[in-house]
């Protein structure tokens, strides 16, 4: 029971926010190419995507990349178009009806010139999800262990009553023999 409550509270914490996992300092983008946007979380159910850079000589104002993205997708490929190669970019996930309402901001990341190599891909997101489900499953299994012990002790009781019955039969047979003599 305790583990079930713990699991629920963790799940609601995770779903209450969106976190951008890519791009990041380690996962740059490449100009005029398909790049990965990946996020964790499921609430709010949809958002818009903007590209920003504090340096106005790089990007004069926030650039809309996607107008509506469904959050359950968890990742998306985006071509940022003909954008200046530079560091210091961030991605913003915002309310689709109000871009001032920012749900999540990425780490500062670099957009490299067209033709640059992509960053190495990792699968950290999936590993953590599997671990969470398996942990709660193990906890439930441990809860049934005491009933197993209970049935083995009742087995011992049965054995001793069988012995008792056998003893009575020996006495009865003995009595019969005595009577015959």
Ligand X SMILES: *[C@@H]1O[C@H](CO)[C@@H](O)[C@H](O)[C@H]1NC(C)=O
Q: Which residues, 84 to 123, sit near ligand X by CB under 6 A?
A: 98, 100-101, 123
Q: Rounded CA gap, 87 and 59, in Å?
A: 11
Q: How far is the CB of 167 from ligand X (least distance, A)?
A: 48
CB of 124 to ligand X, least distance (A): 8
Tokens, residue 42: 């499921």
Give the span between the Cα atoms of 111 and 116, in whole angstroms.
9
Residue whose C-alpha is closest to residue 136's, from 6, 27, 9: 6
Among 12, 67, 132, 134, binds ligand X (CB under 6 A): 134
Q: Considering only 43-51, 57-65, 124-132, 143-151, which stretch makes contact with ligand X by CB under 6 A?
A: 124-132
By CB under 6 A, is residue 130 in contact with ligand X?
Answer: yes
Beta-bridge partners for 63:
51
Residue 32 or 42: the one with the smaller Cβ distance to ligand X is 42
Contact between 108 and 79 under an 8 Å Cβ cutoff? The reply is no
Instruction: Look at residues 76, 60, 84, 88 and name the one whose alpha carbon lies nearest to residue 18.
Output: 76
Cβ-based nearer residue to ligand X, 11 or 172: 11
Closest residue to ligand X, judged by C-beta, is 137
Strands 46-52, 75-78: pairing kind: unpaired
Of the candidates 54, 81, 137, 174, which one interacts with ligand X according to CB under 6 A? 137
Residue window 28-57: x/- pattern of binding to ligand X, with contact defined by CB under 6 A? ------------------------------
């Amino acid at each position: 029971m305790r583990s079930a409550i713990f699991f629920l509270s963790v799940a609601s914490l995770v779903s209450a926010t969106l976190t951008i996992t890519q791009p990041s300092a380690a996962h740059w983008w490449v100009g005029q190419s398909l790049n990965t946007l990946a996020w964790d979380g499921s609430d709010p159910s949809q958002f818009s995507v903007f590209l920003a850079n504090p340096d106005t000589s790089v990007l004069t104002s926030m650039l809309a990349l996607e107008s509506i993205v469904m959050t359950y997708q968890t990742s998306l490929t985006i071509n940022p178009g003909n954008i200046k190669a530079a560091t210091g970019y961030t991605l913003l996930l915002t309310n689709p009806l109000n871009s001032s309402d920012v749900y999540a901001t990425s780490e500062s990341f670099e957009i490299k010139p067209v033709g640059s190599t992509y960053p190495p891909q990792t699968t950290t997101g999936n590993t953590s999800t599997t671990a969470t489900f398996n942990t709660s499953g193990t906890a439930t299994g441990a809860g049934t262990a005491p009933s197993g012990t209970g049935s083995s002790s009742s087995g011992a009781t049965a054995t001793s009553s069988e012995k008792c019955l056998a003893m009575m039969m020996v006495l009865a047979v003995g009595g019969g023999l005595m009577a015959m003599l």
